[in-house]
Amino acid sequence: MKKIAMGSDHAAFEFKAKAKAYLENKGYEVEDFGPFEEGAVDYPDFVYPAVKSVVENDDTVGIVMCGSGIGASIVANKVNGARAALVYDPEVAKTTREHNDSNVLVLGPRISSEEDLFKMIDNFLETDFSNDERHIQRIDKIKGVEANER
C-alpha cells in the first residue's frame, strides 16, 4: 500500500483533515506535513516538504492543496521529479495517472465540491500508469526538461 504525503494552507486546512481521516479509514498511511492548526499560513511551507517526500520515496504519492490549488500546483512542480496535476474533475484525476504517471494530486477545495474532491482522490489512488510506450516517451522528455533546468 502506498504512503501519502499531505500538505496544505489555511484555505484547505479543513478539507485536508477530512481527507486524511478518509484515507486512514481506507488503510492508507498518511504523513501530514501541516499545517496543524487554523490560521493564515503560506502554502509553500507545507506543500514543498510534502512533495519533496514524494520524490525521495518511491512508495509515496502526494496530495497537496490550497484554496484554488493553483499556488500549491506551482510549488509542487518546482520540485525536480514531481509530476503534480491540478485536478478539478474526477475523470482527469484518473487520466493524469494513466497518461502522466503523476505522483502528486493537487486539489482546490474552494473550487470543487467535497463529493468531487473525494472522487478525485479515489480515482487518483486507484488508477495505475498505463505503461504505454507513447506515455513513457513523453515522461522521459519531461525528465529531460528537468535535467536541462538544473
Q: Collapsing DSSP states into helix, strand and coil, what is residue 107?
A: strand
Q: Which domain holds residue 80?
A: 3-149
- Is 99 marked active-site? yes
Q: Which of 10, 22, 92, 99 is catalytic?
A: 99
- Tell me the CATH number at 114: 3.40.1400.10
pLDDT in tens, 60-114: 999 999 999 999 999 999 999 999 999 999 999 999 999 999 999 999 999 999 9
> How many domains, in total, are found in the chain?
1
Contact 5, 54 (CB under 8 A): yes
Q: What are the residues facing 84 on neighbouring strands?
A: 104
> Is residue 149 over pLDDT 90?
no
Q: Which of 47, 66, 72, 85 is catalytic?
A: 66
Residue pair 48/79 in contact by the 8 Å Cβ criterion: yes
Pairing of strands 84-86, 29-32: unpaired
**84's grid cell:** 503534480
